[in-house]
Amino acid sequence: MARWIIVWLGLSLAAGCGARDEPPTELAGLWSTGDASCAAGVGIRFTSDAIQAVYNDDEAETLFEQPRYQVVTAGEDFRVRITYALPSIEGHSRRPGAHGVLVLARHGELIAPVAHSLVDGLTGSARMRIADDPAVTALTLQPCGRHAWREPLRGLSPA
């Protein structure tokens, strides 16, 4: 009986490790800082593998790896918590469990960070940073193209 419990726990953990966390539909498509950037195809794309800065259709740079999305509130008060893996620095030891937490909230047609913290996996201590945080500038965004926040489009508005 104990063997079956161990096997079941092992399979449960293995199944959870490989699962991808899809971004919420509100974050679909390209997001950018303004209309000119949208027209040039420059902006931010939220995917299950990474949050990427997109320069052209074929060029992208990863900003945050392995994001896990959790919608806190939906609709007019949309808020999403994104937990992401911290990059490993070459030549330094990797801190197990270290991760970043970013909270984006809707402000009219825009999304913007309202909280950003870095969490130490060993001690659980968090360093919060919002003043002069480059993530605030990079992630204060508007949707490019058609989006339910801009106009009530059939099939795009939340049910």
Region 133-147: what's the mean pLDDT?
Answer: 83
In degrees and rounded to multiples of 5, residue 120 shows phi and psi of: -80, 125
Rounded to an integer, what distance in angstroms lies between the CA atom of residue 22 and that of residue 146? 20
Tens-digit pLDDT profile for residues 6-64: 545 554 444 445 456 889 989 988 899 988 988 888 999 999 999 999 987 678 999 88
pLDDT of residue 68: 96
In the chain, which ranges are continuous DSSP H helix? 2-17, 35-40, 134-138
Higher pLDDT, 125 or 65: 65
Q: Are the CB atoms for 128 and 115 separated by under 8 Å?
A: yes
Tens-digit pLDDT profile for residues 85-124: 887 667 665 666 778 899 999 998 889 999 888 887 777 7
pLDDT of residue 154: 57
pLDDT of residue 19: 53
Order of strands across the sheet that contains 79-85: 126-128, 110-119, 99-107, 79-85, 60-73, 50-54, 43-46, 30-32, 142-143
Token couple for 75: 């609709």
